[in-house]
Structure 1
Amino acid sequence: MTYEQFKQRYRYDPANDILGEGAFGKVFRAVDTENGSTVAIKVAPVNMSNESHSLKHEFETVGKVDPHLNIAMYDECYRFSVEWAGLHDFAVLEYYPLGSLDKIIKNHSLTDTEKHDLAVGILEGLRHLHTTGAQGVVHRDLKPRNVLIQKWRGKYVPKITDFGLSKFSDSISNSVISQSFKGGTLNYASPEQIKGEQIRRNTDLWSFGVILHEIMTGEVPYKIDDSSESTLRQVYERMNSQSLPESFKNVREPYASIIKKCLMVNPNQRYRAAEEILLEIRQTPNSPVPPASPPIPSVAPVVEAKADQTEIFEDSPFAGLGKAADSSADVQPLKEASVPQQKDLKESDGYVRSKPKKTSNNTPLIILVGVAALVLITASVIYFGGDKKEDITYQTTDSTTTAAPKAVADTAALAQKMDSLFNIPDYQKYAQISLQDSILKQRALTKLLNKALEADKFGLEYAEDRDYMSSVCKAILLIDPKEPKALSRLEKIAMY
């Protein structure tokens, strides 16, 4: 794909569609014109002298990790040389409307159950990272801003992202304090990272302890305003004595003990693995931990639609890279398409056809009207045909040139309505609307199949879990009545 083709497919306004920015670049909300979905585009300059910190390297690192419920994966990553901006990487990933964990902590009053779900989800993601392959991956930059949030069935699902500093733990390595540690990341970095000492997997567990403290109390345990020697000396003294904020006294067990053991300055006294923390939570009454989620295949939908060739932004995507932008600005909403009633559903699919209304026999009158219309049309063609050929040809050509953009706009509007229903969630109505477009239908089927895999994590023991799984499976069967796994799940539900 060329840079021009990329711009044609992914549309965004750099000034108004910015979602966030950091040391590695910026993230924008964009529309994929091939299927009308909303995606996030991460743009980062390439420093050829430090390729290991490039976005492309991050994409390749995450690509070696099996898909998981609590890991946010990139769909694609491209590298383009742009004349006015130099070499840049562009990564595409799913758009999460709720944003990252730091926004949830700041803007929501979390219940005990929500705090539990967030903590367990992050631990599940870390366990998967640390045990993937033969060596495992150490994230090294875990913080609330690098945890995206999805909400389904009323529960928060954290997804670890931003693997710019991640390393395979084939050997214990030294941490390098780079620009990544600016903007508050020092608050989440382990003592060994800050000092540039050797690190291991449980470096991420120090960061988890800081995040868990923030989830439970709303503040970090050790606030580091700068990296001066005097500031760090004071913070180290507090860390060594575990002098935690007053708000820590309100943290209940087992989370209070977990936080203190995660925040041990000596890595040898800290938890060694995420599994140890999950086991401790599991053994505490009234703190059930769901079983580990199975890997979720990331099945890409088959896309055949031709991209709209109409440019919608005047400036390059890099125009806002050096300027301040209002991250609260919203994308202009697409025009919502009307939803026609389904007309091709069969009775065998569970739908009953409405009986046709009785009408009077007007056949003779219809025949007479048809003959008269035919005579008038023939006379018009004979009289006007020779003079109007150019006009007719011009009108046909004009309508053809405007058909493609209109089709793309309709698809985008339909996709926006579907995304809204998916987030409510109203999966069956979501599935019904997808039947109007072949591309959206395939996309909807993929998302629903993945949603069923996510729901498998909770089992069928409770009635609400069975109801939820049933709604997802019925939505799948609206799109594909013979989908075997959906049929099998419904059979299991029927046995309860």
Structure 2
Amino acid sequence: MRLVPGQVVAGRFQIVRALGEGGMGVVHEAEQLGLGRRVALKVMHPHVASTPGFVERFHREAQVLARLRHPGSVEVYDFGADEELLFIAMALVSGESLEAVLLREGVLSVPRAVGLAVQVLEVLGAAHALGIVHRDLKPANLFLESHPEGERVKVLDFGLATLSESWHTRITQVGTAVGTPGFMSPEQMRGGLVDGRSDLYALGCVLHELLTGSPPFPVGPSVEVSAAHLYRPVPSLREARPDLSFPARLESAVMRAMEKLPTARPVDAAAMREELLAVLAEPVSGAPPARRGEGKKTGRPTPREVAPPGPVVGSAPVAVLSERTDAGARLVESLTTCGFQARFVGAAEPLLGFGALLVIAEGRASLARARELAARPDVPPVLVCGPAEDWELVTGALEGGVFDFIPLPPDPRDLTRKVSRAQKLKRQGSLPPPLPGAGPSGRGPGPTGR
């Protein structure tokens, strides 16, 4: 049902005009009759509102959202139903989105980008304290308002992604992702339970775009972007923009926010905020940001050469399994260069003494073999290796529950980080339980490299 100007919802909200439409519903500017107040009225799509259990969850979550009172959040005025219409009325904000700013200006200066992120973290801290997780932080959902003391950030659609969980659960069962792939955390990609640290990952992605002009992984098909967030190392700020200079403390804070494992990120929004405040306390030098009108970068400069990581000491040996001895030998050589004890193994060889098993997948049969091995309790964590551009292979590994995916040829830092993490879990005997949607093997905790 389309609402038209002049139509009244629930006897008290008169539609003025449509402002925008998303997957959950349509946002209208409306006048609250009697009070003469302009509001943003979000009306849920009928197919969303009719999902079993959604109405009850909507009312519960809207009550929680109404308790979120922060200058950086959008105040909820009212919510309810009008026959088949389900609506929520919120404060009407003015200004422009960070997405529009990026399109116009290209990148932001370090103080400006970090200052805006600090404001977002203050809102996240208040929301997380109420158990509200945004789940869809991105530049389009961050609005800038003019204020006598400077720019103020408003976080839009706060909690509405959480409200949609019951609806999205049904959708994701047939393979559709929740949220915006370019800014989603690995655990959210997998359909697992998320907490406030998922929002910190998204904010790290936002900061990456504010500072470099591009998100961590370039825009492309959803499956490719999703697989990159799950398995590929996140490019550092310097790798993405070697022509710019970034404080080391800022680089560390952004990369830590985008760690694949939630436990490796800051413990909460307050901790990340303190890290960024420490950046603001330091003098900033470096090249200025893109000039106004330059626009967002469409390509990535060639990354700087980075020295390989140091050797790993005291770890269990690594096994390499491949149908081709030449490919296996090259991977063994790469592992040895990174300091691992590694050797080629046969298909029937016992694997109990190894700390990790790397399987070179050169087809569907070898991928299936890797997934079978990952399900066995006598096999160490299994990492599948293959071409990064083979997205069918990447997603097959993703869905099969293997520990991780290593693109070939391997990046030394990525190889060291992922294999070391697998060995550590093997030594501790702390391989986690299967993740939701991981398939019967379900061994992996998700991707482990940055």
Q: What is the TM-score normalised by the length of structure 2?
A: 0.51
Deviation at 1:95, TM superposition (A): 1.3
Deviation at 1:107, TM superposition (A): 3.3
- After superposition, give the CA deviation of every residue in 1:26-47 in whole Å (9 maximum; x if it has no partner): 1112234534443211111312
Aligned to 2:9: 6
Tell me which of 265, 268, 276 is aligned to 1:281: 276
Deviation at 1:98, TM superposition (A): 1.3
RCO comparison, higher one (Cα < 8 Å, 6+): 1
Asked whether the 8 Å contact 1:184–1:225 carries over to 2, the reply is: no
Aligned to 1:121: 119
In structure 1, distance between residues paired with 2:243 and 2:50: 45
Deviation at 1:151, TM superposition (A): 1.9
Aligned to 1:140: 135
Aligned to 2:27: 27
What root-mean-square deviation, in Å, do the aligned CA atoms of Structure 1 and Structure 2 show? 3.6
In structure 1, distance between residues paired with 2:251 and 2:56: 35
Return the letter of the residue paired with 2:220: D
Asked whether the 8 Å contact 1:141–1:189 carries over to 2, the reply is: yes
Asked whether the 8 Å contact 1:141–1:185 carries over to 2, the reply is: yes
Asked whether the 8 Å contact 1:176–1:193 carries over to 2, the reply is: no
Return the letter of the residue paired with 2:86: D
Between Structure 1 and Structure 2, the one with more strand by share is 2
Aligned to 1:98: 95
- Does 2:166 correspond to 1:164? no
- Does 2:62 correspond to 1:62? no
Distance 1:37 1:137, change over 3 A: closer
Aligned to 1:402: none
Return the letter of the residue paired with 1:42: K
Deviation at 1:56, TM superposition (A): 4.0
Return the letter of the residue paired with 2:19: L
Aligned to 2:44: 44
Aligned to 1:80: 82
Deviation at 1:70, TM superposition (A): 1.7
Distance 1:99 1:285, change over 3 A: closer
Number of corresponding residues: 267
- After superposition, give the CA deviation of every residue in 1:310-334 in whole Å (9 maximum; x if it has no partner): xxxxxxxxxxxxxxxxxxxxxxxxx
Distance 1:246 1:220, change over 3 A: same
Asked whether the 8 Å contact 1:11–1:33 carries over to 2, the reply is: yes
SS in 1 for 2:81: strand
Deviation at 1:11, TM superposition (A): 3.2
* More divergent stretch after superposition (48-57 vs 29-38): 48-57
- Within 5 Å, which residues of 2 pair with 1:204-243? 204-223=199-218, 225-228=220-223, 232-234=226-228, 236-239=230-233
Between Structure 1 and Structure 2, the one with more helix by share is 1
Return the letter of the residue paired with 1:40: A
In structure 2, distance between residues paired with 1:245 and 1:53: 47
- After superposition, give the CA deviation of every residue in 1:438-480 in whole Å (9 maximum; x if it has no partner): xxxxxxxxxxxxxxxxxxxxxxxxxxxxxxxxxxxxxxxxxxx
SS in 1 for 2:152: strand
Distance 1:285 1:263, change over 3 A: closer
Asked whether the 8 Å contact 2:9–2:82 carries over to 1, the reply is: no
SS in 2 for 1:138: coil
Deviation at 1:181, TM superposition (A): 7.2
For structure 2, list consecutive stretches of 5 or more residues without a partner in the other structure: 1-5, 164-168, 284-450
Return the letter of the residue paired with 2:117: A
In structure 2, distance between residues paired with 1:206 and 1:73: 25
Distance 1:178 1:115, change over 3 A: farther
Asked whether the 8 Å contact 1:51–1:57 carries over to 2, the reply is: no
- Does 2:241 correspond to 1:247? yes
Asked whether the 8 Å contact 1:53–1:165 carries over to 2, the reply is: no
Return the letter of the residue paired with 1:123: L
Asked whether the 8 Å contact 1:175–1:197 carries over to 2, the reply is: no
In structure 2, distance between residues paired with 1:179 and 1:37: 42
Asked whether the 8 Å contact 2:185–2:198 carries over to 1, the reply is: yes
In structure 2, distance between residues paired with 1:98 and 1:259: 27
SS in 1 for 2:232: helix
Asked whether the 8 Å contact 2:70–2:123 carries over to 1, the reply is: yes
Asked whether the 8 Å contact 2:237–2:251 carries over to 1, the reply is: no
- Within 5 Å, which residues of 2 pair with 1:449-464? none
Asked whether the 8 Å contact 1:175–1:198 carries over to 2, the reply is: no
Deviation at 1:219, TM superposition (A): 1.8
Q: Compare CA radii of gyration and give the structure with the larger one.
A: 1
For structure 1, list consecutive stretches of 5 or more residues without a partner in the other structure: 82-86, 168-173, 289-496
In structure 2, distance between residues paired with 1:120 and 1:154: 15
Deviation at 1:148, TM superposition (A): 3.1
